[in-house]
Amino acid sequence: MSRSFHSVGRPSRQSGLSLIELMISIVLGLLIAGAAVSMFLSFSRTYTASESLSRIQENARISFELMSRDMREAGSIPCSRYLPVVNVLNGADGSWWNTWGSGLVGYDNGTFPGSLAGTDAVQVISGASSTAFVSNHAPVSATTRWYVAANGRGSNSLFRVALRGSTVGAAEEVVEGVSDMQLTFLLPGSSNYVVASSIPSARWRDVIAMRMDLGLSGIDRVGTDNSVITRRVVHTVTLRSRNA
């Protein structure tokens, strides 16, 4: 009598991940995702900081370029400034030509009307380009004023006001982010720049150069302490009519 035996195989395991393996995978995924987000935020902050710094540098270049154009022409007229001016007109006191003597006048520590407290300002006078008949002509001087003031958006800007004759133009916002402007001036025979308050009114005609020290700040808060980037930039310009 023969007996047959049938072996019963062990049931196969279901392939997949255990709970521990799944938890480890989730943790590793979270770590990788966190590192990626951290790198993205770091790169984004670096990019924003670089962009803010570039904007500050650009604002400095624009400020110095536009201001220098006016400063170089301070006190200049088509004729030589050394030619004597004789007034043979009645009631000509206070005429445009009387202001050529100074050409440039500085103001200290917010003394200029409308300027920000503690900042300096400057007024430049030069000849205005115009065409007229000699028989009926009232020559005008072009007066330009530069100063720092609040822009109404929570920050400060560099402003420019142009006057032609008796007509006062509206204040023009030139560059945003200029928080401070300190001006010093150089007199002949000296190597030291001095502030405006130390220059007698009769000696403004002798000023040969001006040094501009601007304080600029960015708009975005990208600093480590959530502050804006600030920089100070210095530029010197000479007056052409005083060095001829």
Give me the residue spans of the domains in the chain: 44-80+93-242
pLDDT at position 186:
94
121 exposure class (CB count in 10 Å sphere: 0-12, 13-18, 19+): buried
Torsion angle, alpha carbons of 135, 136, 142, 143, to 10? 120
Taking a C-beta distance cutoff of 8 angstroms, is the pair 121, 71 a contact?
no
Per the model's pLDDT, the better-predicted residue between 187 and 92 turns out to be 187
Of 97-101, 192-196, 215-219, the least confident: 97-101
Q: What SS3 state is found at 86? A: coil
Mean predicted confidence (pLDDT) in 50-79: 84
In the structure encoding, which two tokens stand for residue 129, read together?
A: 């380009």
CB atoms within 10 A of CB 56: 22
Q: Is the pLDDT of residue 185 over 90?
A: yes
Taking a C-beta distance cutoff of 8 angstroms, is the pair 103, 204 a contact?
yes
| Cβ contacts of 180 within 8 Å, gap of 6 or more | 116, 118, 119, 148, 213, 214, 215, 232
Q: Is the pLDDT of residue 132 over 50?
A: no
Q: Is the pLDDT of residue 138 over 90?
A: no
User: How many whole angstroms separate alpha carbon 85 and alpha carbon 11?
Assistant: 117
- Provide the pairing of β-strand 178-186 with 121-127: unpaired
User: How many whole angstroms separate alpha carbon 3 and alpha carbon 129?
Assistant: 127
The percentage of residues in the chain with a pLDDT greater than 90, rounded to a whole number, is 33
The percentage of residues in the chain with a pLDDT greater than 70, rounded to a whole number, is 70
pLDDT at position 6:
53
User: How many whole angstroms separate alpha carbon 50 and alpha carbon 59?
Assistant: 14
- Helical segments of the chain, H only: 19-72
Mean predicted confidence (pLDDT) in 118-147: 65
User: How many whole angstroms separate alpha carbon 147 and alpha carbon 159?
Assistant: 5
